[in-house]
Structures are given as C-alpha cells and as structure tokens.
A = this chain, B = another copy of it.
Amino acid sequence: MIIIMGSSNSQAAQLLETRSLRPTDARRYILELLLETHQHYTPEELSEALRSRGRPLSIATLYQNLNKLAEKGLLVRFKGPDGVLRFDANVAPHHHLVCIECGAMVDVKVIGPLARISPKPVTRGEALEMDSWSIQEKHIEFRGLCPACQAKQTRKQLAAKGSKGSAGRP
C-alpha cells in the first residue's frame, strides 16, 4: 500500500489502526472529513458532505461507523442543546460556542479562573442531595449568535427599519 502526501489521509488510516479498526473507505472518508473541517457534523450533514465529495455512504453504514468510531474514542458523540446528534473529531476536552439560532458549534478553550467556579443549590430539596454528587467535569457553553445568523438578523432589522442605520459589517 502506498501512501502519498501525508496529510489527514494517512492520519485517518493510522488512527483506525491504533484502535484495531479496519481502515475501510467508509471509515476513512468519515474520519478525514471530520479531521479536516473541525466541525460538529450531524449525521445528515455528514451524509451530504460525503455525497458531495463523491463518496456517498448508505445511511446505515454511516450511523454504524459513526457509532463504532465514537465507541472506540476516535470521535465524540453528543447532542447539542437543540437535541441534534453531532460528532466531533476533537476528542480533547474543550468548551463550546453554540449558536442559539442555527445550532452551529465551535470549539473553544476557556480563559479565566475556571477552578474557582463551583455549583450552589438553587432549591431546598436539592441542597441536601448536592453534597453527594461527585463532579468530574465542568463544561461551559457560550450561547449567542454565529456570524451568519447575526448577519441575517441585522439584515432583517435593517429591512424592518428603512432609513436610519449603522455602518456596514463584513
């Protein structure tokens, strides 16, 4: 087997090997796409992206492989706040920027004294229970509007107004 141009092509195959997964086309295509784009794709988005790359996969194969890759730790499988299933090739811990309009997600690190952040009960009944939780991880979601949805909203506002407005925004 010859490997040319060492970018994510070989990386995907290598990752599969490290988990004793057969480096089939389907798996490489999926993994390459997620590694290259750093995006948090839904199965549907993946299906379309793969088709548009000339690598269509049956829906069953797609789901089977996404689940297998996640099970082996090569992908993170999760659902966004909107409940939509997504997969992420960035398996290191990180936080998220989430668009409240379209559900888009971007990975972020956190700047600031995160260690000092701690929970405090809101309701009486839960206060008792809280002591006995074992907290293992803190995950922050920064919620707002992604550039695209912001632009859409701005456009809508301008259209609704008519005359007065502010400077253009790229």
A residues whose Cβ falls under 8 Å from a Cβ of B: 2, 37-38, 78-79, 81-83, 85, 90, 94-95, 97, 99-100, 106-114, 116-126, 129-130, 132-147, 150
A37, A111, A112, A135 interface centre (most CB from chain B within 10 Å): A112
- Judging by beta carbons under 8 Å apart, are B143 and A140 in contact? no
- Judging by beta carbons under 8 Å apart, are B113 and A142 in contact? no
A125 to B37, CA, bound (A): 8
Can you offer 10 A-B residue contacts whose CB atoms are under 8 A?
Answer: A90-B122, A106-B121, A106-B133, A108-B130, A111-B117, A112-B117, A137-B142, A138-B140, A138-B142, A141-B141
Q: Please give, as numbers and ranges, the residues of chain B lying within 8 Å of A119 by CB-CB distance.
A: 95, 97, 108-111, 140, 142
CB-based nearest B residue for A126: B106
- Judging by beta carbons under 8 Å apart, are A112 and B109 in contact? no
Q: Please give, as numbers and ranges, the residues of chain B lying within 8 Å of A134 by CB-CB distance.
A: 144-145, 150
Q: Which of B117, B122, B135 has a CB less than 8 Å from the CB of A94?
A: B122
Q: Please give, as numbers and ranges, the residues of chain B lying within 8 Å of A142 by CB-CB distance.
A: 119, 133, 135, 137-138
- Judging by beta carbons under 8 Å apart, are A138 and B143 in contact? yes
A106 to chain B, nearest CB (A): 5
Q: Which of B2, B83, B110, B144 has a CB less than 8 Å from the CB of A117?
A: B110
- Judging by beta carbons under 8 Å apart, are B85 and A107 in contact? no
Give the 4 A-B CB pairs with smallest separation, nearest first.
A79-B83, A108-B119, A112-B117, A135-B144
- Judging by beta carbons under 8 Å apart, are A135 and B143 in contact? yes
Given contacts A38-B125, A107-B121, 11 further A-B contacts (CB under 8 A): A38-B124, A79-B83, A100-B137, A106-B129, A110-B117, A112-B116, A112-B118, A117-B140, A129-B146, A139-B140, A140-B140
